[in-house]
Structure formats: C-alpha cells, structure tokens
Structure 1
Amino acid sequence: MPEIGDSVLAHRRVPQLPLLVRVDAVVCHAGHNTVCETLWHGLPLVVAPIRDDQPAVAGQVTRAGAGVRVRFNRAGAAHINAALDAVLHDPDYRAAAQRVGRSFREAGGATAAATHLEQLTARTTGETRPR
C-alpha cells in the first residue's frame, strides 16, 4: 500500500474497536458492524457502499446526518477528501453521530437486542427458555 502521510493509516487489517477510541472519523464501505461500532463511539462516517445491505446502511447514516455517502465506483481522492473534510469540520455530523450512539447505549446495546430476539423467537415458536 502506498505511503499517504503521517495523519492517515492504511492497513489491510486493523484492530477496529481499540482504534475507534483514537480516531476522529471513519471511512468505510458501510458494513453494518463498522457503522454501528463507529456510531456507538459517536464518530462521523464517510460511507462508500458496494453491495448487499451496504446501500441501505449508508442511507441510514446520511438520513441520520451522521455521515456523507460517496459512490464507491466513482469517488476519487478529491471527492473522498472533501467528504472527509466535511465530517471532520462540520460539527453537525459529529453531533448526529453522538445522538445515534447515545440512542444505541440507551437501548441496551447487543445484550438487549439478543434478549429481544430470544423473546420474539419464544413467542413465535411457543418455546420458553429457563432463566
């Protein structure tokens, strides 16, 4: 991978969760895990969806005001740079990301989601699970 400067990291693989506490924004392909983990930390995004659920997730990010969407096939360095400048320098993106992150934490996170899914499954199948 080419050298791109001291303020940008480009690696094939990074320890995402520990890194999220050290960055100011995230550029990604709008994968659900990366988007949710980024928003949990209150960070704005630049999303470039490729396929599957990524366009829908990217739409949710932009509708929430928590990031900027760029076209994966068409966004060059200047376009990505402009989007990144926007999310880094317009405080509305960070404020929206922080609102979404708060809503995730207030909803109970992954534990609450798993509990809700178990309850839904039990209701639809008639099964009960001992607690």
Structure 2
Amino acid sequence: MNTAMPQPAFRFDCPGRETLEQLADKWSVMVLACLLVTPLRFNAIKRNLEGVSQKALTQCLRRLERNGIIARTVIVRSPIAVEYRITPLGLRLKEPIQLLCAWTLDNQRAIAKARETFDRETA
C-alpha cells in the first residue's frame, strides 16, 4: 500500500475529499467496526454505539450506503426489518479500521497522559 498522502485529497474540489470527511466523522469508523463482525439491524447498531442518536445514526448509515460501503437490506416479515452489511468495497476498509481500533486501544494510557499534560500546561 502506498502510504504517501496524495495532496490533491486535501483540495476542496477533490472527489475523494467528501469520502475522507465522512470516514473521519464521529460515528462511521465505529459503525463499520460493528458491521465488519456481522450484519446488523439498526437497533443492534444503536445498542453497540452508546450515545449515538437515532438521527445521527440514520445519517451516518445513509452516507455509508450512498458511498457503496454498506448495503441496506429490507427483511420482509412482520414487522418489516432492515439489516445493514459491509459491501465488497467496504471490506477493503477492514484492515485500516482494525489497525486504527487496535492503535486506539494500545495507546489509551499514552493518550490519557498526553491529555493530562496538555490540560495542566494550558490551564
């Protein structure tokens, strides 16, 4: 994988910028981390993401679906249910998401220490 950051990705008119902005939003990585494990219904995703509002989750899921990263399937039964799953395109994000989640967990102490130092020095 080429790790050099392509500068055009930062330009306002870059088509990929919108996708990068979405993937870096508050909920997308966590939604994708949940869906990488198994397809889930809306309420199951909501239960996994403590603190997400119904509106924020709906918006996040719609953007991910619009970008082809997840798919929405209506399950016809009583009552009708909707399930979300990762698409083949979304599966290409599996390794980066797993690495980011692992990095976050592995570095919590260092992050907490950095925050304490920053807060103390800027108080």
Q: Give TM class, smaller chain.
A: 0.3 to 0.5
Q: Which of the pair is proportionally richer in strand?
A: 2
| TM-score normalised per structure 2 | 0.39
**Would you tell me which structure has more helix in proportion to its own residues?**
2
Q: Give the TM-score normalised by structure 1.
A: 0.38
